[in-house]
C-alpha cells in the first residue's frame, strides 16, 4: 500500500467511524446494508471456535465488533487499525467489558508493516484487509510472521468471479480514491501458500441464493447463508458468492 493510498484509506475510515456509519453495520438490527457483515462475522467466529486459540490478532479491526463476538472470554485480543477514529470505538468497547475480560483486550493505531513480529498470536485474522493492497504478497507474509508456530491465519477477500464484479481484479468504487483488490479462491490460496502457510479449509460466503434476497429479505438471506455457505457446491459459489474466506496454518 503506497503512502497516498494509505492516507486515503485512513481518511475514509476515520470519516465512517466519526459518523458512526461503520458501527451501525454491526450494531443495528439486520437490514440490507449490514447483513453481509453479520454473515462474515459469524464465519470468522466459527473458525475461531474451531481453532481454540489463546490469542487473537484482529488486523483492520474497525470498531472492534469481533471482540464482543469471541467464543470465549479467556481469549487475549489485540485489535489494530489504521484509523484513529475506529480505535477510539474499540477503546470504548474495551472500557465497557468486565474487569477480567478488559485485562485481556488491547488495541492500537498502526499499519500492518509497523507491527513488531516479536509478539505472535495463535489466530491472525484479516476480515476485508488485504483487498486494500495492490500487491497482496507482502501483507500476507507479514501475517504469517505474526502467527505462532502451529497458529492460524484467516483471511477474507472479495470473490473476483462474483457475477456483479465481472472478473475485474482492481476496482475503484465511486467516491473512493483507492481501489479494492478482488481475488479468486485460487489466487487467495496461492498467496498464502507462497508465504509458507498450509491451507486448512476455505469456503465462499454471502451467497446470492435468491435474486435480491439481501436487499428485500435480509433475515432470510442471513439464514440461508448461515446454513449453506460452507457446503454450497463450488460451481455455484464461484459466480454467486461475494466473498471467500480461507483458513491457513503456520507449520
Instruction: Give me the pLDDT at residue 9, please.
Output: 84
Per-residue 3-state assignment (H helix, E strand, C coil) for the chain: CCHHHHHHHHHHHHHHHHCCHHHHHHHCCCCCCCHHHHHHHHHHHHHHHHHCCCEEEEECCCCCCCHHHCCCCCCEEEEEECCHHHHHHHHHHHHCCCHHHHCCEEEEECCHHHCCCCCCEEEEEEECCHHHCCCCHHHHHHHHHHEEEEEEEEEEEEECCCCCCCCCCEECCCCCCCCEECECHHHHHHHHHHCCCEEEEEEEEEECCCCCHHHHCHHHHHHHHHHHHHHCCHHHHHHHEEEEEEEEECC
Cα gap 70→40, rounded to integer Å: 14
pLDDT digit string (tens) for 29-69? Answer: 999 999 999 999 999 999 999 999 999 999 999 999 999 89
Query: From the CB of residue 20, how many other CB atoms can be counted at a distance below 10 Å?
Result: 13
pLDDT at 172 over 90: no
Residue 1: which pLDDT band, with cuts at 50, 70 and 90? low
Grid coordinates representing 38 are 453479520
pLDDT averaged over the chain?
A: 94
Number of domains in the chain: 1
Question: Mean per-residue pLDDT for 201-228?
Answer: 96
Residues in the chain: 251
Q: Which of the pair, 39 or 13, is modelled with greater confidence?
A: 39
Instruction: Give me the pLDDT at residue 6, please.
Output: 86
* C-alpha pair distances (Å), 59 with each of 55, 66, 113, 186: 13, 11, 11, 22
Cα gap 85→36, rounded to integer Å: 23
Cα gap 80→71, rounded to integer Å: 20
Domain range for residue 126? 3-249
Query: From the CB of residue 195, how many other CB atoms can be counted at a distance below 10 Å?
Result: 21
pLDDT digit string (tens) for 114-133? Answer: 999 999 999 999 999 999 99
Residue 75 belongs to domain with CATH number = 3.40.50.150
Instruction: Give me the pLDDT at residue 8, please.
Output: 85
Q: What is the pTM of this model?
A: 0.95
Q: Which of the pair, 243 or 19, is modelled with greater confidence?
A: 243
Amino acid at each position: 500500500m503506497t503512502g497516498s493510498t494509505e492516507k486515503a484509506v485512513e481518511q475514509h475510515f476515520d470519516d465512517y467511524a466519526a459518523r458512526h456509519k461503520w458501527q451501525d453495520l454491526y450494531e443495528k438490527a439486520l437490514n440490507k446494508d449490514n447483513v453481509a457483515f453479520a454473515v462474515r462475522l459469524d464465519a470468522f467466529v466459527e473458525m475461531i471456535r474451531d481453532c481454540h486459540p489463546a490469542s487473537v490478532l484482529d488486523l483492520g479491526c474497525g470498531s472492534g465488533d469481533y471482540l464482543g463476538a469471541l467464543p470465549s472470554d479467556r481469549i487475549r485480543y489485540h485489535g489494530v487499525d489504521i484509523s484513529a477514529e475506529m480505535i477510539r470505538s474499540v477503546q470504548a468497547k474495551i472500557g465497557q467489558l468486565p474487569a477480567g475480560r478488559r485485562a485481556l483486550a488491547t488495541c492500537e493505531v498502526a499499519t500492518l508493516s509497523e507491527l513488531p513480529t516479536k509478539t505472535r498470536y495463535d489466530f491472525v485474522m484479516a476480515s476485508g484487509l488485504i483487498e486494500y493492497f495492490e500487491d497482496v504478497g507482502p501483507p500476507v507474509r507479514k501475517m504469517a510472521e505474526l502467527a505462532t508456530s502451529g497458529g492460524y491465519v484467516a483471511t477474507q477477500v472479495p470473490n473476483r468471479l462474483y457475477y456483479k464484479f465481472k472478473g475485474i481484479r482492481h476496482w475503484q468504487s465511486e467516491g473512493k480514491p483507492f481501489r479494492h483488490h478482488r481475488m479468486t479462491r485460487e489466487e487467495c490460496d496461492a498467496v498464502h501458500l507462497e508465504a509458507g502457510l498450509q491451507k486448512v479449509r476455505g469456503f465462499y460466503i454471502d451467497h446470492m441464493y435468491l435474486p435480491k434476497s439481501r436487499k428485500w429479505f435480509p433475515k432470510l438471506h442471513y439464514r440461508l447463508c448461515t446454513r449453506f455457505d460452507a457446503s454450497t457446491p463450488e460451481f455455484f459459489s464461484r459466480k454467486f458468492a461475494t466473498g471467500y474466506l480461507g483458513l491457513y496454518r503456520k507449520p
